[in-house]
C-alpha cells in the first residue's frame, strides 16, 4: 500500500530559478538550495550523468541508487540520457517528498524535451512510494520514503548518485558508517559520484574501500569526487 505521509512535517521549500534558467528549491531551515544556484540542470548533468552514467557506459540493463530524490532531476536526466535500448531500475531514498504544488511548477520538462518528458516527470512525482513503478517502458522507479540512516537493502546497484545536502549542513549523512553501507550496496566495478570534494568525504570513502578520484567540478565549483568499488 502507498506510504502515508503528513506533508505538514515537510520543511518549508521555496521554488527558485538557477542561473541556467532551470528550477531549484530552497530550504530556509538549512539555508541551502537543492541544486547549484549556478545552474541546476548543468550541475546534475556534469556530476551524475557525465561523471557517473557515461563513465559506467552500460550496454545492458543497469540499476541506480540515488541518495535524495528531491526534485526528481537526476532521475529524469537518467531516463533522458541513458543508452538507447537499455532498461533502468532506479531506487531513490527521500525523507521529505516535494509537495505536488511545487513539483508541478518545476520547469525541467520544458527545458529537456517537451510533452513526452513532462509525462515522464509527472509519472515520477505521482509514483507510489515504497513500490516498484514503471514510469516508462525502460525505466522502473522505486521511491523509498525514509531516512538514509535507516536504509538497508540486499539489492546491489551499478551506479550511486550521492546527492545529499552539503556536509556542513547534514554531516551525519556523510559519515564513514553511511558510506560503508553504500559501499556494500554497489556491485564490483560500481561507481559513486557526488558534487562534494571535501577532504573528509574523500577520506571516508577511501576508508571503506573505494578508489577515489577528484574531477573538475561543475560551474561554480572547482572539484567533485568519483569513487569506484574495485574487486
Q: Is 182 contained in some domain?
A: yes
pLDDT at 7 over 90: no
Q: Is 210 contained in some domain?
A: yes
Block residue for cell numbers 503528513: 6
What is residue 8's predicted lDDT score, i.e. its pLDDT?
64
Q: Is 154 contained in some domain?
A: yes
What is residue 211's predicted lDDT score, i.e. its pLDDT?
98
Query: In degrees rounded to 5, what are phi and psi of residue 190?
Result: -70, 155
What is residue 179's predicted lDDT score, i.e. its pLDDT?
98
Q: How many domains does the chain have?
A: 1
Q: Is 2 contained in some domain?
A: no
Q: Is 1 contained in some domain?
A: no
pLDDT at 4 over 60: no
What is residue 6's predicted lDDT score, i.e. its pLDDT?
63
Q: What HEC string does the chain produce?
A: CCCCCCHHHCCCEEEEECCCCCEEEEECCCCEECCCCCCHHHHHHHHHHHHHHHHHCCCCCEEEEEECCCCCHHHHHHHHHCCCCCCEEEEEEECCCCCHHHHCCCCHHHHHCCHHHHHHHHHHHHCCECCEEEEECCEEEEEEECCHHHCCCCCCEEEEEECCCCCCCCHHHHCHHHHHHHHHHEEEEEEEEECCCCHHHHHHHHHCCCEEEEEECCCCCCEEEEEECCC
Query: In degrees rounded to 5, what are phi and psi of residue 82?
Result: -65, 155
- Spatial separation of the C-alpha atoms in residues 194 and 172, rounded to whole Å: 16
pLDDT at 1 over 60: no
pLDDT tens string 76-119: 999 999 999 999 999 999 999 999 999 999 999 999 988 999 99
pLDDT at 213 over 60: yes
What is residue 114's predicted lDDT score, i.e. its pLDDT?
83
CATH number of the domain bearing residue 77: 3.40.50.150
Q: Is 209 contained in some domain?
A: yes
Q: Within a 10 A sphere around the Cβ of 116, how many other Cβ atoms?
A: 12
Mean pLDDT of 60-82: 97
pTM: 0.95
Q: Is 168 contained in some domain?
A: yes
What percent of the chain is modeled with pLDDT above 70?
A: 97
Containing structural domain, residue 30: 7-228
pLDDT at 205 over 80: yes
- Bigger pLDDT: 10 vs 110: 110
pLDDT tens string 125-180: 999 999 999 999 999 999 999 999 999 999 999 999 999 999 999 999 999 999 99
Q: Is 169 contained in some domain?
A: yes
Amino acid at each position: 500500500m502507498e506510504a502515508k505521509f503528513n506533508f505538514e512535517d515537510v520543511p518549508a521549500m521555496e521554488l527558485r530559478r538557477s542561473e541556467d534558467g532551470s528550477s531549484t528549491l530552497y530550504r530556509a531551515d538549512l539555508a541551502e538550495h537543492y541544486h547549484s544556484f549556478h545552474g541546476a540542470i548543468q550541475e546534475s548533468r556534469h556530476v551524475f550523468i557525465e561523471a557517473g552514467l557515461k563513465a559506467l557506459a552500460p550496454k545492458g540493463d543497469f540499476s541506480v541508487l540515488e541518495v535524495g530524490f528531491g526534485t526528481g532531476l537526476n532521475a529524469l536526466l537518467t531516463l533522458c540520457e541513458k543508452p538507447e535500448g537499455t532498461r533502468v531500475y532506479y531506487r531513490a531514498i527521500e525523507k521529505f517528498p516535494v509537495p505536488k504544488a511545487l513539483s508541478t511548477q518545476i520547469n525541467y520538462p520544458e527545458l529537456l524535451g517537451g510533452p513526452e518528458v513532462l509525462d515522464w516527470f509527472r509519472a515520477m512525482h505521482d509514483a507510489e512510494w515504497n513500490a516498484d513503478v514503471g514510469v516508462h517502458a525502460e525505466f522502473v522507479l522505486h521511491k523509498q520514503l525514509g531516512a538514509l540512516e535507516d536504509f538497508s537493502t540486499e539489492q546491489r546497484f551499478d551506479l550511486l548518485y550521492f546527492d545529499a545536502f552539503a556536509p556542513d549542513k547534514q554531516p551525519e549523512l556523510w559519515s564513514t558508517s553511511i558510506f560503508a553501507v553504500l559501499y556494500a550496496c554497489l556491485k564490483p566495478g560500481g561507481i559513486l559520484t557526488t558534487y562534494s570534494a571535501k577532504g573528509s568525504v574523500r577520506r571516508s570513502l577511501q576508508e571503506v574501500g573505494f578508489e577515489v578520484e577528484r574531477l573538475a567540478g561543475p560551474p561554480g565549483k572547482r572539484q567533485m569526487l568519483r569513487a569506484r568499488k574495485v574487486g
